[in-house]
Amino acid sequence: MNYQLNTIVEMKKPHACGTNAWQIIRMGADIKIECTNCHRVVMMTRQDFKKRLNKIIKD
């Protein structure tokens, strides 16, 4: 899968606010994603991100 900064992705588990759409806001060794509904920010390792990623919604 090819993703980059500002890509909207869908994660396997929904967030507590009810949506599972996230925007990538930082990339490096770690990836920081922001919930598109409540704007909560989560940082995870690239390996963990790949494991939890379901699909790319919007490039």
What residue ranges do the domains of the chain occupy?
8-58
pLDDT digits (tens, 9 = 90+) for 9-40: 999 999 999 999 999 999 999 999 999 999 99
Name 10's Cβ contacts closer than 8 Å, sequence gap at least 6: 20, 21, 22, 53, 54, 55, 56, 57
pLDDT of residue 40: 97
- Residue 25: both structure tokens together: 């806001």
pLDDT of residue 2: 84
Rounded to 10 degrees, what is the CA torsion of 18, 23, 26, 31?
A: 50
R_g over Cα of the chain: 10
